[in-house]
Every structure is written in C-alpha cells, then in structure tokens.
Amino acid sequence: MANEIVFSRNHIDNVKDLDVYVGNGGYSSLQKGLTMAPDELIELVKASGLRGRGGAGFPTGMKWSFVPKDTSKPHYLVCNADESEPGTFKDRQLMEVNPHQLLEGMILACHAIGAKTGFIYIRGEFVGPIQIVSRAIEQAYARGYLGKNIQGTGVDVDLAVHPGAGAYIWGEESALLNSLEGQRGLPRLKPPFPAVSGLYASPTIINNVETLANISHIVNNGADWFKQWGTERSAGTKVVSISGHVNRPGNYEVPLATPMMTLINEFAGGVRDGHKLKAVIPGGSSVPILPAEKCDINYDYESIQAAGSMLGSAGMIVMDETTCMVGVARNLVHFYRHESCGKCTPCREGTDWMFKILNELELTGGQMDDIDLLLDITDNMDGKCFCPLGDTSIMSVVSGIEHWRHEFEEHVRNGGCQQRAQNGH
Ligand SMILES: Cc1cc2nc3c(=O)[nH]c(=O)nc-3n(C[C@H](O)[C@H](O)[C@H](O)COP(=O)(O)O)c2cc1C
C-alpha cells in the first residue's frame, strides 16, 4: 500500500513507544530543523507545497509566514485534533499509531513560528488518543525532546493535551480557541485571523494533525522529496478515509492525484459485492456529492474542484445504487442542525428548516414546491452564515437536488420514501 511509500514509520510495530520510534529514526529531524533559522524552516515548508490537511487546503508555509515578527506577545501553536467531520477518521489513527510523529512535527512548527507553547486539542470522545498522546508527551519530556533546550539546540517547547467536550463546531479554528480559553465554543469574527490575534489575543497558528505529521519528513528529506508525489498544486501524499458501501473501509495513504476509482476499487476493495457505484462524497460531509459518472477523476484538490466538489478533509463516503439521496440529505442535515451553535440566524434557522422539509419529504412526501423552497433556503445560507458550518451544511441538499431531482420528485409523488416503506422503517 502507499503507506509504505512515505510514512513507513506508521507501520512499524509499536512505533508509539518512544524507544521504537527513536530506533527507527524518530526525532532525528530535530537537530537539523531546530538549528535552522525559523524563516528558513518556513521557506522549506513553503517550497514543499504542503497544504493544510484539515479541510481548507491552505498552504502551510504561507500560513506560518503570517505570524507577525514585531510583537512582544507570546506565540502559540495549536494542533486541531477535534476530527468530527462525518466520514473522516484519519487523525484518530495517526495519533493512535504514531503520536511521536505528531509531537516531532509540532516541535519543528513551534520553532518556525516562534512559539514556546503548543496545545493539542483532541476531540473529547477520543479517549484512547488522549491517553496515547499524553503518554507520548511524558516520554518526550523524560528524554529531553520537550522542555528546555531541546537536544542542546537552545530551543524550548512545551506541549500539552486539551480534551474537547463533544461539539463539531469546536473543530472550526476560532471556536476551538474560545473553547481552549475556557469560554463558550462559538466561532469568532474574522479578521483578525488567528495568526495575528488568536489564543489569548496572541499570534496563533492552528494546524491539523496530518499537516503537522508531515513536517519532520519534509525537514529530513527536503521539499523535492515531498513534491515527487502529486501535482504542482497538490503535492505529497494524503491519508484518505474511505467508508460506506465498500468491501474494505479504512484509512489509506496515497500519493495525491491517485485515480479516485483506484482508491475505491483497489484500496477499498471495490463497491460491496453485487452492487454498483451510485455516488461519492469525496471530502467529508461538508462537500458536494458527486454522481458515479463524475468519479473518473484524480484524487487531488484541483481535479475534484473541476468535477464540482472539494477534497476537504478527505473523508470519502461511497454509496451504491441502494442509497436514497433524499435520505442522505436528511441524515446529513440532521447532523448540521444538531451541531449548529445557534450564533447566527441563517445557520440556526436554515438547518432546522431544511431538516423539517427533508423529514416531510422522506416520511410523508411533502409537496412539489418544497424542492424549490429547499433551494431557496440554501441560497439564503450560502456565504451568509457567520462561519463555514452553516455555509457547508447545504452541500448535500444542493448537489442532491442538482443530480437526483427526480428522486426528490418521486418522494412527493409516492407520499414518502418507497425504500423506507419497503424496509419497514
Ligand atoms: C465546522 C468546522 C469544523 C472543522 N473541524 C475541523 C477538524 O476537526 N479538524 C481540523 O483540522 N480542521 C477542522 N476545520 C478546519 C479548521 O477551521 C482549520 O481550517 C484547520 O484546522 C487548519 O489546519 P490546516 O491548515 O492544517 O488544514 C473545521 C472547520 C469548520 C468550519
């Protein structure tokens, strides 16, 4: 598997143990990276083409360069390990299997942005990863990989785990910062962006687990090594979480630009037996659904965008012909309605209204006008919500109606979902 191409350390037995990690070259990037000037490190990450793996795909080196240099305030690094996007489950495994890889990347990132303190904000339900990463931090302190004067380089870095408490919105970076500060986890108005005014109103970089897990490898092997995979705008490898109607769901690390059908048919073992592909959500629940005929593309940022969706957090949800697309939209909107923080009206009211209509369509059929009403509501939410949670909650509705409008109409004509009736729900 492609896992063997890059992060082979993920596949070393018990690599979460410090001795095993160090025995296989772990923490070797620190001597090199921590003796580089911070700007040099930022330029290296820029040159690698690494884009943030948390969803938005923002170039990591460029983000780091936004931290102001002329401030007396402390700088902070925050690792976003809140991972709650339906369909995405890669960060959990990265932390469970190889926690030191994350810590090593964070130490380097702290040096690059001039931070002496970093927090790992881990989804509260991830009890295992919280314990594993906390233990790894203890081990790293005991061996001098964390704390004062790391490995004699003169660099000081402290890291701490902060458990979340179970809300999807806390993955949104500004809500996460509020939660980390002990306030209600509601999103903040931007600008100012966190790089300028983040945690405790100080310059803060927030990066995803997978983003940070790439850093030590880039420092050890160089920017060109990383760029040997993928394309100009989608460099490196990507861990893709594949779930749904496939024979072998799981996390697969592949070079970006791997054909999407190869991901489904070879890595995930194909659509479950006897069934055929109907649709794919390529990047977590916040991106538009692609019909099967649009799935013959490469899995990279630009190809997926050209096909009408987004790579997002790389949670690929595969659906076969038995899937009711009204049911999919209802299910996903139910999630967003539950997770809406309620701060802004379009999201609070819109997710609730969409759910009520979808529920009627699914259970009793609703009315033909409901379909255009749904589109009208999504139009009043798109780009008008306070944060992207609301903006993206409409994706399954808009793409569902665009590609499978006939299914919505059939629900009205049939007085609800026929499949649901047949299954006795
Ligand atoms: C509702 C919502 C939930 C999010 N959840 C996560 C998450 O669980 N993990 C994550 O890394 N980014 C999440 N993001 C994106 C973050 O706001 C942020 O862009 C990301 O952590 C930046 O890291 P990166 O530059 O390394 O990608 C979420 C965004 C939104 C709007």
What CATH number did the domain enclosing 189 receive? 3.40.50.11540
Q: Is the dihedral of CA 262, 60, 89, 358 positive or negative?
A: negative
The answer on 91 and 67 residing in a single domain is yes
Residue 232 in any domain: the answer is no
The answer on 386 and 366 residing in a single domain is yes
What percentage of the chain reaches a pLDDT higher than 90?
A: 94
Element (H, E) at 261: helix 260-262
187: burial class by Cβ within 10 Å (0-12, 13-18, 19+)? buried
Q: Which atom of ligand 1 is nearest to the CA of 209?
A: 11
The b-or-e profile of 208-219 (16+ CB within 10 A means b, else e) is bbbbbbbbbbbb
CB atoms within 10 A of CB 157: 24
Residue 308 in any domain: the answer is yes
The answer on 131 and 28 residing in a single domain is yes
Q: Which atom of ligand 1 is nearest to the CA of 88?
A: 8
Count of domains for the chain: 3
360: burial class by Cβ within 10 Å (0-12, 13-18, 19+)? middle
Q: Is the beta carbon of 171 within 6 A of some atom in ligand 1?
A: yes
- Tens digit of pLDDT for each residue in 363-380? 999 999 999 999 999 999
Residue 424 pLDDT class (50, 70, 90 cuts): low
The answer on 330 and 305 residing in a single domain is no
What percentage of the chain reaches a pLDDT higher than 70?
A: 97
The b-or-e profile of 103-125 (16+ CB within 10 A means b, else e) is bbbbbbbbbbbbbebbbbbbbbe
Instruction: State yes or no: pLDDT of 6 exceeds 80.
Output: no
Nearest residue CA, atom 12 of ligand 1? Answer: 54
CA distance 414 to 341: 35
Cβ 289 vs Cβ 325: under 8 Å: yes
Q: Is the beta carbon of 393 within 6 A of some atom in ligand 1?
A: no
Residue 228 in any domain: the answer is no
Mutation to probe ligand 1, out of 46, 170, 206, 332 (largest number of atoms < 8 A from CB): 206
Residue 29 in any domain: the answer is yes
Q: Is the beta carbon of 81 within 6 A of some atom in ligand 1?
A: no
Q: Which atom of ligand 1 is nearest to the CA of 84?
A: 8
Residue 425 pLDDT class (50, 70, 90 cuts): low
What CATH number did the domain enclosing 266 receive? 3.10.20.600
The answer on 157 and 8 residing in a single domain is yes
Nearest residue CA, atom 29 of ligand 1? Answer: 172
Structural domain of 257: 237-320
Domain boundary among 320, 344, 372: 320
Domain boundary among 163, 193, 223: 223
* Residue in 103, 214, 208 with CA at minimum distance from that of residue 150: 103
The answer on 271 and 136 residing in a single domain is no
CA distance 45 to 55: 18
Q: Is the beta carbon of 206 within 6 A of some atom in ligand 1?
A: yes
- Tens digit of pLDDT for each residue in 239-259? 999 999 999 999 999 999 999
Residue 230 in any domain: the answer is no
The answer on 252 and 208 residing in a single domain is no
Residue 159 in any domain: the answer is yes
Residue 45 in any domain: the answer is yes
* Tokens coding 162: 């902060």
What's the predicted TM-score (pTM) here?
Answer: 0.96
Q: How far is the CA of 142 from the centre of ligand 1 (A)?
A: 31
Q: Which atom of ligand 1 is nearest to the CA of 211?
A: 26
The answer on 409 and 304 residing in a single domain is no
Q: Which atom of ligand 1 is nearest to the CA of 63?
A: 25
Q: Is the beta carbon of 210 within 6 A of some atom in ligand 1?
A: no
Q: How far is the CA of 208 from the centre of ligand 1 (A)?
A: 7
Cα separation of the two ends of the chain: 40
Q: How many residues does the chain have?
A: 425
The answer on 195 and 143 residing in a single domain is yes
- Tens digit of pLDDT for each residue in 260-283? 999 999 999 999 988 999 999 999
The packing angle between helices 127-142 and 99-113, to 10°, is 60
pLDDT at residue number 12: 84
**Between β-strands 298-299 and 277-281, what pairing exists: parallel, antiparallel or unpaired?**
unpaired
Q: Is the beta carbon of 235 within 6 A of some atom in ligand 1?
A: no
* Tokens coding 410: 């059939």
pLDDT at residue number 10: 53
Residue 231 in any domain: the answer is no
pLDDT at residue number 151: 96
Tracing tokens 């980390």 back to the chain, one arrives at 180
Domain boundary among 320, 345, 374: 320
Q: Which contacts qualify for 288-295: CB closer than 8 Å, 24 or more apart? A: 288/395, 288/396, 288/398, 288/399, 289/325, 289/328, 289/395, 289/396, 289/399, 289/400, 289/403, 290/399, 291/403, 291/404, 295/260, 295/261, 295/264
Q: What is the mean pLDDT of residues 293-307?
A: 98
CA distance 265 to 333: 29
Q: Which atom of ligand 1 is nearest to the CA of 173?
A: 17
